Amino acid sequence: MQRSRPAIEFVNHASFVLGTAGRRIISDPWLFGTAFNDGWSLLCDYGFDPERFAEIDYIWMSHEHPDHFSPAVLRSVPEAIRRDTTVLFQQTKDRKVVDFCTEIGFKTRELRPMERVALADGLEVVCGQVPLYDSWLLYDCAGFKVMNINDCAVDGRALARIRRAVGPIDVLFTQFSYAGWKGGPGDTAMRRAAAGAKLRAMQAQIRALEPRWTVPFASYSYFSHHENRHSNDSINRPEDAADAIREAGSEPVVLYPGDVWTAGDPWTNDAAVDRYRPHYDFAARSYLTSGTVDEPALLEAGRAYVERVRARNSAVLLGLIRRVPLVGLLRPVTVVAYDLDATYRFSLEDGLQRTGPVASPDVKMHSSSLDYLLRHEWGYDTLAVNGRFEADLGGFRRMKKTFSIGSLNNAGYRLSAGLLFDRTLLRMVWAAAVRLRRLGT
């Protein structure tokens, strides 16, 4: 069968439509609204009308983060169209995303890790998982291969495994800027280092996977809250990504929302780069604010958080881990809710309790962020991404070590004896520990 070069329409952020073999797949459709508890907004607007999903056969979402899996966008698709559209999602323990999509009327298909799935004669996909929750997708268009690696955190060995599994690829779609907390207003040097590290990570992907063309994407958003606006000061721009891609030996293809590229055709980046420039004038933007959450609501949220953790995890292991001083997991954290001018101590023994002022609290945040952190298992993940808090590296680590139990539970895992023998999860924990150590150097 002759290699088929797909038509690619860039939609926004991490979303594009790939068309080939009479089928059209849209990836990660975040089309409107904010994400991460009002911490992110789309860099530029694009009117991809929900009625256009009538043209789409499949929706693939890489993971549960709201800039990739947007319940509001999925609900905006007319019900009659949902019945004829299949959601593709990785096989997970909790099945939350698949169950949600089924409940609102989509057809669904779970993709087993590394299984080659034929969607049409001349179109196959392969989904690979990256612990704890991410995934990538290979589109094999009769031998012309497009890799959507989005914001998967993959190191050298993982890249080598991907290359062995999928072989040579033609087009790579990958993230090109940092996407999370990188210090406070005065920590510009930390953010510049993170921006450089992200470009080097992209170059490592290119050198390992050897794509002929690379499309920088999954970074067309900005920190849109008054509390995190400083995080925009060092983010990479499309022209930065294009230069890094060329340096690594691939040909950059910068796409602006609405651009259509037949993969492999000549492409000039100047028009897209010029159209993006005004969107990076962050001083001219307005920023979101949040209302205060009162203390009784916060205390109740803390009580409920502890109840959920105790119900979902081994009490014996929770107690043992808290008593190992060198590990520092699940230990009490001091939090200042600055809009309430109040200091709290959170622990898995007592929940959230008001305490007197302390000289060096672990973290400071708005009461709305503290409320969100405690009300949702994904609350810590959201906070780590939106950066709506103030802390030094030590405080950030202590918060992470206490509240990551929620992230574990949100991914369908529970702290139990069996978990100690889960090699994949242990590798992920070790990699996270290494990243934390590097963050401090």
CA angle 425, 428, 433 (to 5 degrees): 130
DSSP helix/strand/coil, 304: helix
- The span from the CA of 40 to the CA of 231, in Å, is 11
CATH of the domain spanning 295-416 = 3.30.1050
What lies within 8 Å, CB to CB, of 169 at 6+ separation is: 138, 145, 146, 147, 209, 210, 211
- The span from the CA of 395 to the CA of 391, in Å, is 5
Residue-level pLDDT at 183: 96
Burial code (b: 16+ CB inside 10 Å, e: under 16) for 144-181 equals: bbbbbbbbbebeeebbeebbeebeebbbbbbbbbbbbb
- Which DSSP letter does residue 421 get? G
Residue-level pLDDT at 436: 46
Bridge partners of residue 351, in order along the sequence: 347
Name residue 145's amino acid.
K
- The span from the CA of 391 to the CA of 364, in Å, is 7
Q: Any alpha helices (H) in 376-422, and if so which ranges?
A: 379-386, 393-410
Bridge partners of residue 285, in order along the sequence: none
- Given a contact cutoff of 8 angstroms between Cβ atoms, the answer to whether 293 and 367 are in contact is yes
- The span from the CA of 181 to the CA of 257, in Å, is 26
- Residue 342 neighbours by CB distance under 10 Å: 17
- The span from the CA of 431 to the CA of 425, in Å, is 10
pTM of the complete model: 0.93
CA angle 435, 226, 28 (to 5 degrees): 60
Handedness of CA 77, 224, 196, 398 (dihedral sign): negative
Q: What is the pLDDT along the chain (441 residues), one digit of tens a residue?
A: 568 899 999 999 999 999 999 999 999 999 999 999 999 999 999 989 999 999 999 999 999 999 999 999 999 999 999 999 999 999 998 999 999 999 999 999 999 999 999 999 999 999 999 988 899 999 999 999 999 999 999 988 999 999 999 999 999 999 999 999 999 999 999 999 999 999 999 999 999 999 999 999 999 999 999 999 999 999 999 999 999 999 999 999 999 999 999 999 999 999 999 999 999 999 999 999 999 999 999 999 999 999 999 999 998 888 888 787 656 789 999 999 999 999 999 999 999 999 999 999 999 999 999 999 999 999 999 999 999 999 999 999 999 999 999 999 998 888 887 666 555 555 555 454 444 445 443
- Residue 23 neighbours by CB distance under 10 Å: 17
Domain boundaries, the chain: 7-284, 295-416
Residue-level pLDDT at 441: 38
Q: Which CATH number fits domain 7-284: 3.40.980.10, 3.30.70.260, 3.60.15.10, 3.30.830.10?
A: 3.60.15.10
Residue-level pLDDT at 173: 98
Helix axes 238-247, 188-209, angle to 10 degrees: 40
Q: DSSP labels for 167-234?
A: ---SEEEEE-S--S----TT-HHHHHHHHHHHHHHHHHHHHHH--SEEEEES--EEE-BTTTGGGGGG
